Amino acid sequence: MSGARKTLIVSLHDAHPGSAAAIEEQIAFLAGYGVKAASILVVPDFHHGAPIAKDAGFGEGVSRWQEAGHEIVLHGYYHDRRESPRETLGTLFWTRLYTSREAEFLDLPAEEARIRLRRGRELFDERGWRAHGFIAPAWLMATHVPNLCGELGFTYTNTLRELIPLVRGGGRPALASQSLCYSTRAGWRRIASAAWNRQLFGKLRATNLIRLSLHPRDLEFALLRRQIDQIIRAALAGGFAPSTYAEYVARPS
């Protein structure tokens, strides 16, 4: 898929009314390097308290992002664990340590997952936002979710380590590609993720796809901001061309 072209995909996660200013800052930050197209992950009702359907100003902003060439991606529905199945020993690591109770689609029953995916897609359609992709919060989702996405017309989903095209009538195989991302909840997490990303980027430079995933607070921390700057500069200097997930998946095999 996508031939041998080197591609840089920057995704901006957790866009909702409360993070709009941070997303705008990230868009301006990227534009300073000539990165004018990113995949922006929008949450319909962040933590059950930020419904975009009731915020006309935010909706207008999302439409402007799309008009400017950015891709709008459905990112969960609530981005939290409220109304999720009871946690078990098998899910505690993912829900309490890896995330802060945000793994919405980790173990969501198929019918409820279908309802949330459909509601999100309908909300996007009503506003003229082209929903090509669905990305679960923290990239964690039950095994039935990709099939549901395909049934509902999404063309791709992804995990932390894979980009998964969804093509009706027989899909293309998932593409191994680990995303660079940061954890900012504590100082030790920021230091550890920066160290990990330094090593990971060294490996990704030898591939044809670099995925850089940013969350709203990432640019607030000098350590992370410096490294993000270095990664983008090095990727562009190495011939990686900015793109979005939707554009990448739509390329001929």
Average pLDDT over residues 193-205: 97
What average pLDDT does range 69-87 have in this prediction?
Answer: 87
Is the model's pLDDT at 170 over the cut of 60?
A: no
CA atoms within 13 A on the CB side of 4: 1
Q: What does the mean pLDDT of the chain come to?
A: 91
Q: Three-state DSSP class for 252?
A: coil
DSSP β-ladder status, 7-15 and 39-42: parallel
Residue 2 has pLDDT above 90, yes or no: no
Query: Which residues, 6+ apart, have CB-to-CB distance to 252 below 8 Å?
Result: 3
Return the ∠ at Cα 64 (arms to 242 and 216), rounded to 5°: 65
Task: Taking residues 132-137, report their average pLDDT.
Answer: 96
Domain boundaries along the sequence of the chain: 7-250
Identify the CATH assignment for 7-250 out of 3.20.20.370, 3.40.50.460, 3.30.70.260, 3.40.630.30: 3.20.20.370
How many residues are given for the chain? 253
CA 79 to chain centre: 12
Q: Considering only residues 101 and 248, tell me which one the structure prediction assigns the higher pLDDT.
A: 248
The reported pLDDT for the residue numbered 17 is 97
